[in-house]
Amino acid sequence: MTRCTRRRFLAGSAAACALAGTAAADTAAMPRYPVGVCDWMILKRQKLGAFKLAAEIAADGVEVDMGGLGDRPTFDNRLADPAVREQFLAEAAARGLRICSLAMSGFYAQSFAERDGIDRVVQDTIDTTVAMGAATIFLPLGVRSDLVAHPDLRPAVVARLQEAGRRAADAGVVIGIETALDAAGEVRLLDDIGSPAIRSYFNFANALQNGRDLHAELRTLGADRIRQIHASNQDGVTLEHDPQIDLGAVRQTLDDLDWRGWLVIERSRDAADARNVVGNFGANARHLKRVFQKD
């Protein structure tokens, strides 16, 4: 297993840490742009069947959710059990898949800025990420910590992410945050946080649905600030048929930036066949691979 230690992390070995995978992962065999899927979006949140389904979709890996949050003191996380973790790791290895990241999707609806007991929630996620042999955590600053709608929450978000960044750096992992800010605003936020363990988890849809130039946003953030990418748009059509996005041009922009990393499919489902998980996510995975893995 490739392990991103604190010493390597602080020494700036981003490329070595970025693609740390499961126990059976051979990082040398990874493409520059591996393609993943979110387990909760393929209706397999923290379920072993996510790996079988991801293999049918022809993904390279899975972004595994931490489980439900609700009013619990921490996530309803089955992976806290070592026996369950071993099952997941064995299944991923058997199907030739990586665990590209762990996701705190509960914060789409809950307030990262205001929730009590945030240190335990963050530490549990970091501990699970390390135990699963991954190196990236996805944290959405969702509706209730949207810094465009709630700019008054910014000091609390910054302070909490500074502490989360300290914990993540100690463990050799990176937290990728998704915000509602434009790229320039996200650069300022990351600068205020000032942690090498807090980066951007870029989402194509956030730029496209807010009328921003996707390529300009990527260039403004730059390769060093982008940890991982949710490479999909809103639901309606699959990526191949989406007039809003030219993936060939996106690849050229990412190539020019000398970025490499996971492209994780979240949405872009065909509205006429929205429940067809294999059909929608398989079409998107195949199209992403045609564009980003053709070399």
Is the model more confident about 278 or about 28?
Answer: 278
Percent of the chain with pLDDT strictly greater than 90 = 89
pLDDT at residue number 26: 42
What global pTM score does this model have?
0.91
What does the pLDDT average to over 224-246? 97
What's residue 29's pLDDT? 79
Under a CB-based contact definition with an 8 Å cutoff, are residues 145 and 157 in contact?
Answer: yes
Domains of the chain with bracketed CATH: 6-292 (3.20.20.150)
φ, ψ for residue 82, nearest 5 deg: -55, -35
* The pLDDT value given to residue 11: 36
pLDDT at 239 over 70: yes
In sequence order, the β-bridge partners of residue 264 are: 36, 230
Contacts of 211 (CB under 8 A, 6+ apart): none
Dump pLDDT digits (tens) for 103-130.
Answer: 999 999 999 999 999 999 999 999 999 9
pLDDT in tens, 249-278: 999 999 999 999 999 999 999 999 999 999
Is 20 exposed, middle or buried (CB count within 10 Å of its CB: 0-12, 13-18, 19+)? Answer: buried
Residue 23, pLDDT > 80, answer no
Contacts of 59 (CB under 8 A, 6+ apart): 35, 36, 37, 97, 265, 281, 285
